[in-house]
Amino acid sequence: MLKKVLIANRGEIAVRIIRACHELGLDTVAVYSDVDRTALHVRRATEAYPIGPAPASESYLRADKLIDVARRSGADGIHPGYGFLSERAEFAEAVADAGLTFIGPPPAAIRAMGDKVRSRQAMIAAGVPVVPGTEVGLTDDEAIRVAPDVGFPLLVKASAGGGGKGMRRVDGPAALPATLEAARREAQKAFGDDTVYLERLVEGARHIEIQVMADQHGNVLHLGERECSLQRRHQKVVEECPSPAMTPELRERMGAAAVAAARAVGYHSVGTVEFLVDRDGRFYFLEMNTRLQVEHPITEIVTGVDLVKQMLRIAANRPLRLRQEDIEWNGHAIECRINAEDPYNHFLPSTGLITHVIEPTGPGVRVDSAIYEGAEIGLFYDPLLAKLIVGGPTRADAILRMRRALEEYRIMGVKTTLPLHQKIMDTTQFIAGTYDTGYLEDTFRIQHEIRTDLDGVAAIAAALLAHQLRGEVINRLAPAGGPSEWKQLGRRLGLRLP
């Protein structure tokens, strides 16, 4: 039984975990660096302890300090959140060696899925489809020799990578030697490991992840998918649940593959299996995140399952109360990540004092945040300020609700990505659900006017449906002096238009 949980993290995720613990009657212990002394997670926890200077390497990444605080405070469990030490098998082992409960998967599963080459091998053995590529780290000469068999364009990927680091695109043989050198250099700097491999680039793909949940008694199930294709520099920007590209048959097949992946490594806890889905509906294993995901709230809204509470119950060795047939998907949810970055100036980080905050409220709106008036935003940590999450009975309702919530949201004192999300919600590609992983970087430009060309009747119908309650629908979507067929089409589709 857990009674007191130390949260080895900061920011919105620490606040999120603290709330779940308190609802379950568990005491909480916060930790903080020198610059986080007045942070919201410190105020919300039952008790809080300092762990060192601002740099994460001297505070939040110090396993010894975290375990020492857990012992001194009487905590019997440690929840790592996401980032920092959440996917470090050595940390999970150290927690267990200290006689504490690690609220996450077993170290062996973290280690198996933390190495991209090992995880590929495990998935192949489990019958899970993987993207065509090479196996364990090759020398540069070997990689150059087998690259034509993999096929161009391809990706050079760091074996220990994540977050897009150590990942480079190669369009032809001539660029491969220099790209291998650059990827190895970046991987060594980021992860202390310059092992790389080659993987075919699946162009026009969607990035869809499957949420899995497994207890320590052999029960494994999935909670459906999240659409994560709106990315910039391999970092997710907007997520949806369910995916606009999903069918019941594809969900069943991908869910079964994700469950097989979790079983293959003896997984228990909450985790996410990520896939690429090509234009023909073929899917390929990408990686497994052995932790809670940033975008977990949209799954919670659609399924009604509190994933953080499930993590706590699983860690306490309780069997899952749910079975696969109990999981239902109701409505639609969207999450926008609000970062302290300037979208009009190459997304440069923005720092300073938050002087004013007005969070959106109303039906179907959730804000996971740790910011407040007077909070200091620096450069030491991730730029994520808040997650704006909305839910509605349909995708069109969720889009309209997100647009309204974004208009209400006010964060003053630093630049944020709120304008970026407002633009995205207005684009034809997002409204129609026809975007892929390359859309934000290859097509979308926040500095330019939103494109008004539409891709077929289906896109037109989706755009009109999402905008039917707004009087300017025709003016926004039709070019100057546009044809009256727009309105006629909407009427044929049964939409109420102005």
At residue 136, the pLDDT reads 67
Name the least confident of 134-143, 345-354, 445-454. 445-454
At residue 458, the pLDDT reads 53
At residue 134, the pLDDT reads 87
pLDDT tens digits, residue range 5-55?
A: 999 999 999 999 999 999 999 999 999 999 999 999 999 999 999 999 999
Cβ count near 480 (within 10 Å): 6
| Given the residues 44, 291, 337, 395, the one annotated as active site | 291
pLDDT at 453 over 60: no
Please give the single-letter amino acid code of residue 290.
T
At residue 462, the pLDDT reads 55
At residue 454, the pLDDT reads 43
* Burial classification of residue 235, based on how many CB atoms lie within 10 Å of its CB (0-12 exposed, 13-18 middle, 19 or more buried): middle
At residue 337, the pLDDT reads 98
What's the distance, Cα to Cα, between the start and end of the chain in Å?
60
The domain segmentation of the chain, as residue ranges, is 4-103, 132-200, 206-428, 454-498
Using pLDDT thresholds of 50, 70 and 90, give the confidence band for residue 481.
very low
Q: What average pLDDT does the structure give for the chain?
A: 90
Q: What are the phi and psi torsion angles at 104 (to 5°)?
A: 175, -170
pLDDT at 450 over 50: no
> What string of H, E and C letters represents the secondary structure of the chain?
CCCEEEECCCHHHHHHHHHHHHHCCCEEEEEEEHHHCCCHHHHHCCEEEEEECCCHHHCCCCHHHHHHHHHHHCCCEEECCCCCCCCCHHHHHHHHHCCCEECCCCHHHHHHHHCHHHHHHHHHHHCCCECCECCCCCCHHHHHHHHHHHCCCEEEEEEEEECCEEEEEECCHHHHHHHHHHHHHHHHHHHCCCCEEEEECCCCCEEEEEEEEECCCCCEEEEEEEEEEEEECCEEEEEEECCCCCCHHHHHHHHHHHHHHHHHCCCCEEEEEEEEECCCCCEEEEEEECCCCCCHHHHHHHHCCCHHHHHHHHHCCCCCCCCHHHCCCCCEEEEEEEECEECCCCCEECCEECCEEECCCCCCEEEEECCCCCCEECCCCCCEEEEEEEEECCHHHHHHHHHHHHHHCEEECCCCCHHHHHHHHHCHHHHHCCCCCCHHHHCCCCCCCCCCCCCHHHHHHHHHHHHCCCCCHHHHHCCCCCCCHHHHHHHHCCCCCC
pLDDT at 99 over 50: yes
pLDDT at 75 over 70: yes
206-428: which CATH number, 3.30.470.20, 3.30.365.10, 3.40.50.620, 3.30.559.10? 3.30.470.20
Can you identify the CATH homologous superfamily of domain 132-200? ATP-grasp fold, A domain (3.30.1490.20)
Using pLDDT thresholds of 50, 70 and 90, give the confidence band for residue 456.
very low
pLDDT tens digits, residue range 390-401?
A: 999 999 999 999
pLDDT at 118 over 80: yes
188/338: higher pLDDT: 338
Number of H helices, E strands in the chain: 18, 22
Calculate mean pLDDT across residues 199-212: 94
Calculate mean pLDDT across residues 291-309: 98
pLDDT at 309 over 80: yes
470/166: higher pLDDT: 166
pLDDT at 80 over 60: yes
pLDDT at 482 over 60: no
Using pLDDT thresholds of 50, 70 and 90, give the confidence band for residue 477.
very low
pLDDT at 416 over 70: yes
Calculate mean pLDDT across residues 200-209: 93
pLDDT at 460 over 80: no
Query: Percent of the chain having pLDDT more than 90?
Result: 80
pTM of the model: 0.85
At residue 466, the pLDDT reads 53
At residue 192, the pLDDT reads 85
323 in active site:
no
Name the least confident of 63-77, 213-227, 233-247, 473-487. 473-487
Calculate mean pLDDT across residues 254-278: 98
pLDDT tens digits, residue range 82-96?
A: 999 999 999 999 999
Pairing of strands 4-7, 77-79: parallel
pLDDT at 494 over 90: no
At residue 179, the pLDDT reads 95
At residue 174, the pLDDT reads 95
**Would you say domain 4-103 falls under CATH 2.40.40.20?**
no
pLDDT at 377 over 80: yes
pLDDT at 138 over 90: no
d(CA 243, CA 179): 33
Nearest to 435 by CA among 250, 230, 234, 225: 230
Calculate mean pLDDT across residues 170-199: 92
